[in-house]
């Protein structure tokens, strides 16, 4: 029982990180049908920027804000400079460009920051809570709670932005039907840039949240990217809510695999789930079928 | 609403592939009038509207609204300049609700009178009011057409381009739409370019008429005059 609770709580906080990565992929995919393979690399890079701030004597929270802001900026810049020219070209062009970006970013990080593992501070304590003698595990630590709360808050803010603001309406219009959006005076290109910027911000958040566990090195986000991608695919790649739920499911499932099957299996299990979903439900488990019904 | 604007198309050559669809078309829509653009399938009517709204590039010639040149502007810039284009079919964003579609139109209008404008549209088209929270995907073809027209009107355009607005609409709704367009011309000084297969219906509301054939203007006259020209009617308009 204690193990089950521990694994579930740990799964939730891990899952929220996959959810954040998945969300950042969805933000870009649904606007432009581009899968941003560089998303993990970008998050790694913004985490390095945070570490520089901390090394220079800045507080954790200053570093946190700067990382998120640089994610925003990085996303917008890369879209304008590198991805925009692939618009209207065969989809493979964008794939190659974002894979190229990933290699470039990871290479640059190696050159600038070196390739050794750097330890990375967490927001709060990573010691799990206890109820009497009943230990709840690291998934109940203040940092884990902060992880879940911050990703949920970011997702809710995005939902509010999309639902209730003019710019959110314009972004959705541009994502769903660029031609009609243009007809209604929407600057579709600007909305795409904004989508990448928000994706960069959410990705940077994921980087800040996961790096204390993985250490920081040029490839530190690679496996998280795969799991975030899996989360997004489970949710249908089109649906922000789907990415969150997909991330949670995946996080919990992988924690059970770690706890009950074998501690070296989760990455393999993650890939297996990705393959299974792509084989049997390529449109996602629930979200996109729900939108297609109506 | 802004003052009536004139739309002028001068010697426009435009098209999709290597062969132009429009071979030097010149049309003037006077401020605050309805101009019907008539002609058979393939005459270039839809291409003309798509060229004005910026989706088809002009190869030569130019389009102006009053003194502002629209040629070479992007479609979204032309929309913000005050040209509303109601395309034939498919103008609805099906993943958004009816009200969200309408709000897209409202975003082009001054903030102050948005609520009143939306309520006005809902009272005119009760079908839209009843379905405002539904996804536009749930609407029938005719309802979608109404939605697109209503959305265009909500953007407070200076020039309205209508491509086959009566297609798929019940006669009662067609009358309602034409009536509304007439009303907007008279009260708000809207300049309308109306493309129609149904030449008789179009000429009944229009002030002027232009007949296109194979990308050329073959006749341009007052609507009543065009309607009275038996030879032209039989040759190009089929009534």
Residues of B in contact with A166 (CB under 8 A): 103, 107
d(CA A261, CA A17): 22
pLDDT of residue A202 exceeding 90, the answer is yes
Confidence band for A192, pLDDT divided at 50, 70 and 90: very high
d(CA A293, CA B69): 45
pLDDT of residue A289 exceeding 60, the answer is no
Give the H or E element holding residue A135.
Answer: strand A134-137
Q: Name the residue with tokens 């739920």.
A: A245
Q: How far is A252 from chain B (nearest CA, A)?
A: 31
Q: Strand pairing partners for A216?
A: A118
Q: Is residue B194 part of a domain?
A: yes
Residues of A in contact with B55 (CB under 8 A): 179
Among A35-44, B1-10, B151-160, B190-199, the range scoring the smallest mean pLDDT is B1-10
Question: What is the reported pLDDT for B8?
Answer: 95
- Per DSSP, the three-state class of B85 is strand
Q: Is residue A18 part of a domain?
A: yes
Q: Is residue B46 part of a domain?
A: yes
The domain that holds A42 is classified in CATH as 1.10.3470
Phi-psi region of A114 (alpha: psi -120 to 50; beta: other; left: phi over 0): left
Question: What is the reported pLDDT for A288?
Answer: 44
Q: How far is B235 from chain A (nearest CA, A)?
A: 35
Confidence band for A286, pLDDT divided at 50, 70 and 90: low
Phi-psi region of A154 (alpha: psi -120 to 50; beta: other; left: phi over 0): alpha
Q: Is residue B17 part of a domain?
A: yes
A-chain residue closest to B104, CA distance: A184
Mean pLDDT of chain B: 90
Give me the domain span that covers residue B223: 7-237
Q: Strand pairing partners for B25?
A: B12
Q: What is the dihedral of CA A158, A163, A164, A169, to 10 degrees?
A: 100
Question: What is the reported pLDDT for A294?
Answer: 29
CA A271, A276, A282, A286 dihedral sign is negative
Q: How far is A172 from chain B (nearest CA, A)?
A: 8
Interval A112-135 mean pLDDT: 87
A-chain residue closest to B77, CA distance: A185
Alpha-carbon separation of residue A285 from A26, A123, A246 (angstroms) = 15, 33, 9
Q: Is residue A251 part of a domain?
A: yes
Chain segment B178-192, per-residue pLDDT in tens: 888 888 889 888 999
Among A238-247, A279-288, B96-105, B146-155, the range scoring the smallest mean pLDDT is A279-288
Query: Residue A219 in contact with residue A102, Cβ under 8 Å?
Result: no
A169 or A293: whose pLDDT is higher?
A: A169
Burial A197-224 (b: 16+ CB within 10 A, else e): bbbbbbbbbbbbbbbbbbebbbbbbebb
Q: Is residue A291 part of a domain?
A: no
d(CA B80, CA A20): 36
Residue A285 tokens, joined: 């488990």
pLDDT of residue A291 exceeding 50, the answer is no
- Per DSSP, the three-state class of A225 is helix
Q: How far is A216 from chain B (nearest CA, A)?
A: 41
Residues of A in contact with B92 (CB under 8 A): 180
3-state helix, strand, coil in chain A (%, to 5): 75, 5, 20
Q: Which of A169, A170, A294 sits opposite B135 (nearest CB)?
A: A294
Q: Is A291–B95 a contact, with Cβ atoms under 8 angstroms apart?
A: yes
Q: How far is B75 from chain A (nearest CA, A)?
A: 6
The domain that holds B46 is classified in CATH as 3.40.50.300
Across chain B, the runs of DSSP E, i.e. the strands, are: 7-14, 22-29, 34-38, 58-65, 68-69, 83-86, 159-163, 191-195, 208-213, 216-222
Q: How many domains does chain B have?
A: 1
Q: Comparing C-alpha atoms, which of A77, A28, A63 is closest to residue A204? A: A63
Chain segment A59-108, per-residue pLDDT in tens: 999 999 999 999 999 999 999 999 999 988 898 999 999 999 999 999 99
Query: Residue A284 in contact with residue A234, Cβ under 8 Å?
Result: yes
Backbone angles phi, psi at B77, to 5 degrees: -70, -40
Give me the domain span that covers residue A124: 2-285
Q: Which of B98, B104, B148 to mutate to test the interface with A (most CBs of A within 10 A)?
A: B104
Give the H or E element holding residue A130.
Answer: strand A129-131
Q: How many domains does chain A have?
A: 1
d(CA B47, CA A200): 40
Question: What is the reported pLDDT for B3?
Answer: 67
Query: Residue A15 in contact with residue A234, Cβ under 8 Å?
Result: no
Predicted TM-score (pTM) of this structure:
0.89
Q: How far is B185 from chain A (nearest CA, A)?
A: 21
Q: Is residue B214 part of a domain?
A: yes
Among A34-48, A58-72, A178-192, A255-269, the range scoring the smallest mean pLDDT is A255-269
Residues of A in contact with B135 (CB under 8 A): 294
Q: How far is A87 from chain B (nearest CA, A)?
A: 16
ipTM of the complex: 0.90
Q: Is B137–A180 a contact, with Cβ atoms under 8 angstroms apart?
A: no
Q: What is the number of residues in chain A?
A: 294
Q: Which of A170, A172, A183 sits opposite B79 (nearest CB)?
A: A183
Residues of B in contact with A170 (CB under 8 A): 104, 107
Q: Is residue B24 part of a domain?
A: yes
Query: Residue B93 in contact with residue B67, Cβ under 8 Å?
Result: no
Residues of A in contact with B104 (CB under 8 A): 169-170, 173, 181, 184, 186
Residues of B in contact with A291 (CB under 8 A): 95
A-chain residue closest to B154, CA distance: A184
Q: Name the residue with tokens 């270039």.
A: B44
Q: Strand pairing partners for B210?
A: B37, B220
Q: Which of B76, B103, B135 sits opposite A185 (nearest CB)?
A: B76
Q: Is A184–B155 a contact, with Cβ atoms under 8 angstroms apart?
A: yes
Phi-psi region of A137 (alpha: psi -120 to 50; beta: other; left: phi over 0): left
Chain segment B12-38, per-residue pLDDT in tens: 999 988 888 999 999 999 999 999 999
């Amino acid at each position: 029982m204690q193990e089950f609770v521990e694994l579930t709580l740990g799964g939730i906080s891990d899952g929220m990180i996959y959810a954040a990565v998945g969300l950042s992929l969805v933000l870009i995919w649904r606007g432009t049908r581009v899968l941003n393979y560089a998303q993990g690399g970008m998050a790694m890079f913004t985490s390095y920027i945070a570490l520089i701030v901390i090394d220079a004597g800045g507080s954790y929270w200053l570093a946190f804000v700067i990382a998120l802001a640089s994610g925003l900026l990085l996303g917008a810049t890369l879209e304008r400079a590198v991805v925009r020219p692939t618009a209207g070209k065969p989809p493979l062009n964008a794939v190659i460009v974002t894979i190229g970006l990933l290699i470039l970013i990871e290479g640059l990080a190696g050159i600038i920051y070196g390739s050794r593992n750097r330890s990375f501070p967490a927001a709060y304590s990573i010691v799990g809570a206890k109820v009497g003698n009943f230990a709840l595990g690291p998934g109940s630590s203040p940092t884990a709670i902060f992880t879940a709360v911050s990703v949920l808050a970011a997702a809710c803010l995005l939902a509010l932005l999309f639902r209730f603001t003019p710019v959110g309406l314009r972004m959705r219009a541009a994502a769903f039907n660029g031609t009609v959006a243009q007809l209604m005076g929407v600057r579709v290109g600007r909305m795409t840039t904004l989508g990448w910027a928000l994706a960069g911000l959410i990705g940077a958040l994921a980087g800040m949240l996961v790096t204390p566990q993985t250490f920081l090195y040029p490839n530190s986000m690679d496996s998280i990217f795969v799991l975030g991608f899996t989360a997004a695919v489970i949710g249908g790649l089109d649906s922000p809510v789907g990415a969150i739920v997909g991330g949670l499911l995946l996080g919990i499932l992988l924690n059970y695999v770690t706890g009950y099957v074998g501690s070296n299996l989760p990455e393999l299990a993650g890939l297996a789930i990705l393959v299974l979903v792509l084989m049997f439900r390529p449109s996602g488990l629930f979200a996109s079928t729900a939108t297609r019904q109506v | 609403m802004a003052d009536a604007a004139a739309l002028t198309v001068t010697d426009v050559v435009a098209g999709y592939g290597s062969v132009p669809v429009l071979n030097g078309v010149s049309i003037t829509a006077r401020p605050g009038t309805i101009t019907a653009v008539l002609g058979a399938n393939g005459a270039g009517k839809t291409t003309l509207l798509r060229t004005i709204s910026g989706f088809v590039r002009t190869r030569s010639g130019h389009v102006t609204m009053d003194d502002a040149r629209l040629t070479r502007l992007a479609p979204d810039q032309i929309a913000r300049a005050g040209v509303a284009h109601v395309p034939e079919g498919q103008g609805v964003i099906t993943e958004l609700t009816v009200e969200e579609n309408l709000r897209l139109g409202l975003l082009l209008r001054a903030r102050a009178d948005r609520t009143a404008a939306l309520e006005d549209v809902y009272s005119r088209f009760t079908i839209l009011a009843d379905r405002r929270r539904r996804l536009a995907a749930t609407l029938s073809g005719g309802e979608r057409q109404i939605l697109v027209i209503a959305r265009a009107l909500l953007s407070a355009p200076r020039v309205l381009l209508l491509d086959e607005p009566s297609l798929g609409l019940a006669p009662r709704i067609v009358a309602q739409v034409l009536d509304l367009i007439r009303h907007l011309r008279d009260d708000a000084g809207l300049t309308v370019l109306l493309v129609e297969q149904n030449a008789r219906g179009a000429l009944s509301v229009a002030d002027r008429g232009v007949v296109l054939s194979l990308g050329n203007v073959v006749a341009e006259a007052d609507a009543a005059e065009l309607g009275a020209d038996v030879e032209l009617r039989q040759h190009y308009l089929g009534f």
